[in-house]
Chain A
Amino acid sequence: MNRREFLASGLGVVGTVAAGLTLGKGVWPLLAEEDLVPGEAPRARLDRQAWDTTPDRISFAALGDNGSGGRQAMAVADRMAEVYRDHPFGLVAMLGDICYYGNFEDRYDDVFRRPMTPLIDAGVSFELAIGNHDADLHHSDEGLAEIEAELRLLGTPGRYYTSTHGPADFFYLDSSVPGLLGDGSSEQLEWLEDTLAGADNQWKVVALHHPPYSSGEHGSTPGFDEVLQPLLARHHVDLVLAGHDHHYERTHPIDGTTYVVSGGGCKTTGVARRDFTAVAESTLEFLHVDIDGDRLTGTCIRPDGSVADSFTIRAREGR
Chain B
Amino acid sequence: MNKIIVDPITRIEGHLKVEVTVENGVVKDADSSGMMFRGIELILQGRDPRDAQRYTQRICGVCPTSHSIAATLNLDSAFGIADKIPDNGRIVRNLILGAAHIADHILHFYHLTALDYVDVTKVAGYTGNDTTLKSVKAFIERGELGPFVPRYEGDYRLSDQMNIEATAHYVKALEMRRKGQEMLTIFGGKMPHNMGVIPGGVTETVTVDKIASFLWKLNELRDFIDNVYIPDVLAVAEVYSDYFGIGAGCGNLLSYGSFDLEGNVADLTKRKRLLKQGTVSATDLKLNPLEPAKIMEHVKHSWYEDSSTGKHPTEGMTKPQLGKVGAYSWSKAPRYDGKVYEVGPLARVVATYVSGDATVKQMVDSTLARFKASPKALFSVLGRHAARALYCKFVADTMPGWLLELKPGEPAYVDYEIPDEASGMGLVDGARGALGHWVQIKDKKIANYQCVVPSTWNLGPRDDKGQPGAVEQALIGTRIKDEKNPFEIVRIVRSFDPCLACAVHVITPKGKEIGRFKVC
The finding on whether chains A and B are genuine partners in a shared complex, rather than unrelated, reads no
Binding site for A on B (CB under 8 A): none
Binding site for B on A (CB under 8 A): none
